[in-house]
Each structure stands twice: as C-alpha cells, then as structure tokens.
C-alpha cells in the first residue's frame, strides 16, 4: 500500500499517475467553476478557501506542534486591519499590503509565542484567549482603526483593473489558498515540520534530541499567525467592510472547531474541515429556509422557544458537532477518510 | 476615591472569586478548565428568572430551584459528554467544554433571545450606605457577604465532611482513591454539581448589576478564569485571592489610569504573571516528569 521507501518518495508532491490526473482535474474544475456557477456559490467558494487557509494555519499550531490557541481571531483581525490600513493610508498595492498584513500578524504570533514557551495546556489557552480579546478591544477603541463602527475596505486592483465582484476576486483567493496549501504541505515534510511533530509528541524528548524549542515553538506561532493574517486580509476584501465585533472569541472557537472536525495534524483534513464547516455555517445561517426541517423548526420555536433567536441554532449544532467528533472520532473527517480508504482498498477482507 | 475603588473592586472581585472557585474545583478533579462554566451559570440564572417572572414563585424558591437546576446540569454534562471521551487528553477535554459553551449559549439565545431583561433581586442596587468616604450599595454588601459565606461553607466541606475529604483524595490521586474504595466517578459528578451551583450563585448575584442576556457571563467568565490562573489553578485559596486581587487591580486601573482599557489590563496582568510565575502566584510549581 502506501509504504514510503525512501526520503524522495516521501517529499514527492503527488504519488501516482492517478493522483496526477485527479489533481489536474481539480485544477481545471476550479478554473472553470466561476464561469458556470451562480454568484452565491462563488461567494461560498471564496469563503471556504479563506477558512481553509485559517484551518491549515491553526492546524500547524494545534495539530502539528500541539500548542493550543484560543486567540486566532486576534491574528485574523490583525491581518484584516493592517491590510486595509496599508491600502488606505499609504496606498500600497494590495498584494504588498496583504503580505505585510500577514507579516505583522506573524510578528505578533512570534511575540505571543514567547510566553508560550513556558506555558502549556490551560495556561496557554488563557494566555492566547486573553491576547485575542485584547486585540479586538484595542482595535475597537483606536480611531485609526475606525473604532467600533468599523472600516470600509477598498477594492483590490491591478493598476486600473478593479476586482470588485466575488467572481473577480475568486481567482485571487483561490490561487493564494492553493499556494499556501502547497507551502504548508511541503513545510510539514521538511526539518521544520518534523521538529513541530516531535514537539507535539513530547517536548522534553524533542529537546533532548536537539530540537531547539525556543526557535521552533515561536516559529510555529509565527507561521500559524502568518496564514491566519493572510486569510484575514482576504476576508476583508471579500466582505468589503470590517468591524471589531466580528473578530470575537466565538470566531476563535469556530476556527478551532474547523481544525477538530477536519482532523488534527493533517493538511488534507484541514481542507475538508474548512470546506465542510463553512458550508454548514452558510446553510445554518438560513436554517428556516431549509425544506421540511425549516418549517418544523419555525413552528417549534414559535411554540416553545423564540422565533427571533432561531439563527442561534447554528451555535448549538456547532457545539454538538465538536463534542461528538471529539468523543467518537478524535481524528475528525481525516480519520473517517482514512478508514474508508483502507476499507475499500482491502475490500473483500 | 481610593477607598471607593477598593471596596467596589472587592465587590466585583467576589464574583470573580466565585467563578474562579467553580473553575478550580472542576480543574482539580477533571483536570480540564471548564469553558462552559459561564454559560452554565448564565442558563441557571435564566432559570431563576423564568421561575420568578413566568411562574410567579417567590425569590427564595426561584433561587433554590435555579441551584437545583444547576446541579443537575453539571451532572448531566459531565456524565453524558465528558465521561464518554475515548482518549482524553487536555486538548480534547477542553474542546468538549468549549462545545458545552456553544450549545448552552445557543440554547439560551434561542429561548430568551437578545432582549435585555432584569432580574428582580430582593436586595436593592440603589440603596446605599456610607463607609468613610466610600459609598456601598446593599447589593454590593450582599455580594461580599454571600461570597464569604459560601467560601466558609466550602472550607468546612473540604475539611470536615466525608465527601469533601473523598474529593480531596480523588484530586490528589484518583487511582489510589479508587483502591481505597472511593467511587471516583461519583465524586466527579458531585464535583461538577458543586461547581455548577457556585457558578449559578455568581450568575444570580451578577444579573442585577449587569443586564440579563445570553452574553451575561462572557466577560466575567474570562475574568474568573484569569483570576484562577493568577492565583493558581490548583489551589482554592489562591483562586479566591486571585479573584479579589483582579477585581481590585482592575478597578484601580480603571479609576486612575484609563477606564477604556480597563478590561484589557486583566489580560496584561495574566500574561505577565504567566511569564514570571507560570503556575500562578499561590500554587506550588510541579515539574512534569517525562
């Protein structure tokens, strides 16, 4: 089966001809998609791609390095705001602004990584959580960031060609997402990735083997923050308007939920988690419009609950999903995928 | 000015201390920080509200009813979800409690919506007494006294009752406790019930000051958690002191430096404390063995 016999086989991008074929098919369908799909689905695809970037970024920290973070909404906010500020105040081209947004998020990630060197488990959770809360509070109170009212995002443009519809921005988001996925995949197969995994499995053992904990833990935070910062910048382009209250604690939990549902310590799992959970968010946003179920829920909630509160059902379902995934399938969708694959490969047996 | 800030800081600190205690009690036995604590308290407060307003019971009965509900809620969550985790490690347990948080938050906002309500507390927030140069409302006094009473009861509970001692034994070494005939699973349920009750008391005391909506406990939970970390997640006394300290420091900062950044300062303190004394101010630092 999938036994890797030497190092070059392990770092190869795609394993077999069949996988090459499907890979090219995927690229083709991603290219054709915006020309045939209705607008809403393009928006959905953009949203999914952004969340995939976030999930991969967070997974490199939580899944690969084993450091929990409940403050990634903070990096998301930093990425979004810095990108927008560089574009509006200094009029940098948007790609540069986006990159700088990611870089500054990475810088904050590095800074947050420093206390993380001495913390673990619940203590790390509270420190990162405090960071996330503090970022949104500070942003909400500074006038340069538009305060609580939020800030208008200029449309990204190449010279005079302005990308202002979901369809035009699609290629930007998808190609950046693709690039970042490939980067993450390759990074995890290098020395850095192996160091991360060693730290996750046992940091003391890793240190004994010569892994520089100070370096790799802070790098893990920085890379993870970079990914999430870039995603934040893209999200700003997608939404066209950002305000501090959209980067709250709940968002950090959602990010963590993406990672958990997708599968800890797996890039493929992160992609699946990001896509599936984003789809779920968008569907649950309009739960009363679902066939059959929607009507039942509406009548149930007007009888027993409160009709205006119905959209909050998404929070209940998300909570249930992450609890059930952790209890029954700790490896998430990726674990499920692996088991299915093995089942069919060895099928009659 | 200083006295005023100090005393109202202590009043707020009592609430933080209660939440921190609730958190530490669970942390010591289940070894997980319970992120659902705040929402458990919030829902219990809403139950008190519903009993009081919709069913017209007296405050005492509603209060008791809410505490009983809280106990059952705690036992339910522990028994149904937390105990089922297959390979419990710290991350998965924490995620489960985050899941509780989301479920309970969703339920409460579905049922009670985002309307801001008022819990009729029998002690008024507007009648005040003068202590030196400081003004203190009856509600503040009640909060401080109830908290002290509860802490005293906890002290007696852990010192003199059989269950309390069994609980301490379970916290120290679950395996050894089991060998000695303590049903550790049952102890775990009782722990959750107790912690949930303490949280509910904090919620009901908080509701008249803040407005009663599903976001009631969001901020206090984080502050309570922060206090627990400040004092040390493994000591009850430390967590309580941490709560009072956080309340006072936060209030002094709000009064003298900047009211705007009052809630940010709490996290600044936490990060500093964690940098220099990672296991909290009052806890012994254990070095983990490989």
* B271 contact residues in A (CB cutoff 8 A): 115, 127, 130-131
Closest among A218, A210, A8, A176 to A83, alpha carbons compared: A176
| A320 has pLDDT over 60 | yes
Cα–Cα–Cα angle for A130, B81, B158, nearest 5°?
Answer: 75
Mean pLDDT of chain B: 86
Nearest to B271 among A115, A301, A305 (CB): A115
Q: For B75-103, write each residue's pLDDT tens digit.
A: 998 888 888 877 777 888 888 898 988 89
Q: Is the pTM here over 0.80, yes or no?
A: yes
| Dist CA A98 CA A78 (whole Å) | 11
A332 or A287, greater pLDDT: A332
Q: State residue A244's pLDDT score.
A: 85
Residue A323, chain B, CB below 8 Å: the answer is yes
Phi, psi of B130 (to 5 degrees): -100, 125
pLDDT above 60 for A1: no
**Shortest distance, CA B129 to any CA of chain A (angstroms):** 34
Q: Cα separation of A236 and A84, whole Å?
A: 8
Cβ-defined contact of A118 to B101 (cutoff 8 Å): no
Query: At residue B122, does pLDDT exceed 90?
Result: no
Pairwise CA distance, residues B10 & A115, whole Å: 29
Handedness of CA A216, A222, A223, A228 (dihedral sign): positive
Q: Report chain A's mean pLDDT, rounded to a whole number.
A: 86
Q: Tell me the mean pLDDT in the region A201-215.
A: 89
Q: Does the pLDDT value for residue B288 go beyond 70?
A: no
Flag whether pLDDT at A209 surpasses 70.
yes
pLDDT of residue A53: 95
Q: Best mutation site among B80, B86, B274 for testing chain A: the one with the most A CBs within 10 Å?
A: B274
What's the per-residue H, E or C state across chain A?
Answer: CCCCCCHHHHHCCCCCHHHHHHHHHHHHHHHHHHHHCCHHHHHHHHHHHHHHHHHHHHHHHHHHCCCCCCCHHHHHHHHHHHHHHHHHHCCCCHHHHHHHHHHHHHHHHHHHHHHHCCCCCHHHHHHHHHHHHHHHHHHHHCHHHCHHHCEECCCCEECCEECCCHHHHHHHHHHHHHHHHHHHHHHCCCHHHHHHHHHHHCHHHHHHCCCCHHHHHHHHHHHHHHHHHHHHHHHHHHHCEECHHHCCHHHHHHHHHHHHHHCCCCHHHHHHHHHHHHHHHHHHHCHHHCCCHHHHHHHHHHHCCCHHHHHHHHHHHHHHHHHHHHHHCCCHHHHHHHHHHHHHHCCCC
Percent of chain B with pLDDT over 70: 97
Q: How confident is the model at residue A59 (pLDDT cuts 50, 70, 90)?
A: very high
Is the Cβ pair B98, A253 closer than 8 Å?
A: yes
Tell me whether A240 touches chain B (CB under 8 Å): no
Cα gap A296→A298, rounded to integer Å: 5
Task: Tell me, yes or no, if A129 comes closer than 8 A to chain B by beta carbon.
Answer: yes
Confidence class of residue B139 from pLDDT cuts 50, 70 and 90?
confident
Could A322 and B261 be called an inter-chain contact, meaning their C-beta atoms sit closer than 8 Å? Answer: no
What per-residue confidence (pLDDT) applies to B190? Answer: 92
Banded pLDDT at B285 (limits 50, 70, 90) = low
> Is a pLDDT exceeding 60 seen at residue B290?
no
**What would the pLDDT profile of A129-163 be if each residue is shown by its tens digit?**
888 888 888 888 777 777 777 788 888 877 777 77
Provide the 3-class DSSP secondary structure of residue B128: strand
pLDDT at A219 over 90: yes
- Please tell me the least confidently modeled range out of A20-34, A72-86, A264-278, B78-92: B78-92
- pLDDT category of residue B281 using cuts at 50, 70 and 90: confident
Q: Are strands A241-242 and A161-162 parallel, antiparallel or unpaired?
A: unpaired
Residue A202's closest chain B neighbor by CA? B290
Range of weakest confidence among A80-94, A212-226, B244-258, B263-277 = B263-277
Contact A309 B114 (CB under 8 A): yes
DSSP symbol at B261: T
pLDDT band at A166 (very low <50, low <70, confident <90, very high): confident
Span A38-345 CATH architecture? Orthogonal Bundle (1.10)
Across the range A190-205, mean pLDDT stands at: 90
Query: Domain coordinates of chain A in residue numbers?
Result: 38-345
Q: What is the pLDDT of residues B213-272, one digit of tens each?
A: 888 888 888 888 888 888 888 888 888 999 999 999 888 888 888 777 777 777 777 777
Q: A192 or A155: whose pLDDT is higher?
A: A192
CA atoms of A94 and A134, how far apart (whole Å): 27
Compare CB distances from A309 to B100, B113, B270 and report the shortest one's residue: B113
Q: Does A322 touch chain B (CB under 8 A)?
A: yes
**Inter-chain residue contact A315 with B106, CB threshold 8 Å:** yes
């Amino acid at each position: 089966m999938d036994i890797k016999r030497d190092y070059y086989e392990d770092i190869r991008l795609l394993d077999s001809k069949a996988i090459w074929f499907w890979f090219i098919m995927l690229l083709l369908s991603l290219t054709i998609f915006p020309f045939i799909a209705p607008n809403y689905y393009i928006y959905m695809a953009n949203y999914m791609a952004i969340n995939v970037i976030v999930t991969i970024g967070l997974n490199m920290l939580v899944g690969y390095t084993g450091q929990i973070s409940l403050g990634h909404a903070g990096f998301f906010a930093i990425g979004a705001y810095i990108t927008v500020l560089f574009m509006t105040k200094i009029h940098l081209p948007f790609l540069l602004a986006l990159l700088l947004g990611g870089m500054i998020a990475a810088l904050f990630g590095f800074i947050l990584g420093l206390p993380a060197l001495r913390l673990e488990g619940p203590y790390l959770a509270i420190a990162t959580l405090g960071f996330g809360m503090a970022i949104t509070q500070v942003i909400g109170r500074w006038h340069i960031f538009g305060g609580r009212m939020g800030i208008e995002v200029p449309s990204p443009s190449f010279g005079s060609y302005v990308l202002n519809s979901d369809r035009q921005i699609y290629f930007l988001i998808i190609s950046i997402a693709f690039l970042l996925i490939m980067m993450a995949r390759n990074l995890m197969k290098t020395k850095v990735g192996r160091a991360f995994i060693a730290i996750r499995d046992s940091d003391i053992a890793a240190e004994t083997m010569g892994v520089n904990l100070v370096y790799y833990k802070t790098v893990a935070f920085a890379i993870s923050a970079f990914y999430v910062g870039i995603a934040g910048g893209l999200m700003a382009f997608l939404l066209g308007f950002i305000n501090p209250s959209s980067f709250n604690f709940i968002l950090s939990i959602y990010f963590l939920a993406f990672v958990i549902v997708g599968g800890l310590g797996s890039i493929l799992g992160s992609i699946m988690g990001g896509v599936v959970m984003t789809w779920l968010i968008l569907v649950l946003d309009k739960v009363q419009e679902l066939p059959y179920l929607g009507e039942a829920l509406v009548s149930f909630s007007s009888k027993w609950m409160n009709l205006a509160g119905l959209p909050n059902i998404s929070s209940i379902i998300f909570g249930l999903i992450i609890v059930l995934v952790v209890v029954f399938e700790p490896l998430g969708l990726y674990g499920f995928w692996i088991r299915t694959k093995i089942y069919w490969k060895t099928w009659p047996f | 000015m200083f006295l005023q800030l100090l005393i109202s800081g202590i009043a707020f600190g009592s609430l933080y201390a209660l939440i921190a205690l609730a958190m530490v009690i669970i942390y010591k036995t289940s070894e997980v920080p319970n992120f659902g604590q705040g929402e458990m308290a919030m829902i219990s407060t809403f139950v008190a509200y519903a009993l009081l307003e919709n069913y017209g019971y007296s405050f005492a009965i509603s209060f008791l009813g809410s505490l009983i509900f809280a106990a059952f809620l705690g036992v339910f969550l522990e028994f149904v979800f937390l105990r089922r985790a297959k390979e419990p490690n710290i991350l998965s347990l924490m995620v489960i409690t985050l899941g509780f948080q989301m479920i309970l938050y969703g339920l409460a906002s579905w049922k009670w919506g985002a309307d801001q309500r008022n819990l009729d507390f029998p002690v008024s927030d507007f009648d005040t007494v003068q202590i030196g140069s400081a003004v203190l409302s009856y509600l503040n006094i009640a909060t401080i006294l109830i908290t002290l009473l509860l802490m005293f009861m906890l002290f007696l509970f852990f010192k003199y009752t059989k269950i309390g001692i069994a609980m301490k034994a379970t916290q120290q070494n679950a395996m050894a406790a089991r060998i000695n005939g303590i049903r550790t699973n049952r102890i775990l349920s009782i722990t959750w019930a107790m912690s949930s009750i303490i949280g509910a008391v904090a919620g009901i005391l908080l509701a008249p000051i803040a407005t009663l909506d599903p976001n009631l406990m969001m901020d206090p939970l984080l502050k309570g958690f922060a206090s627990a970390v400040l004092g040390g997640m493994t000591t009850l006394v430390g967590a309580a002191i941490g709560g009072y300290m956080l309340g006072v420091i936060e209030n002094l900062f709000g009064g003298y430096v900047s009211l705007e950044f009052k809630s940010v300062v709490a996290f600044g303190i936490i990060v500093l404390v964690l940098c220099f004394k990672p296991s909290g101010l009052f806890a012994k630092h254990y070095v983990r063995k490989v």
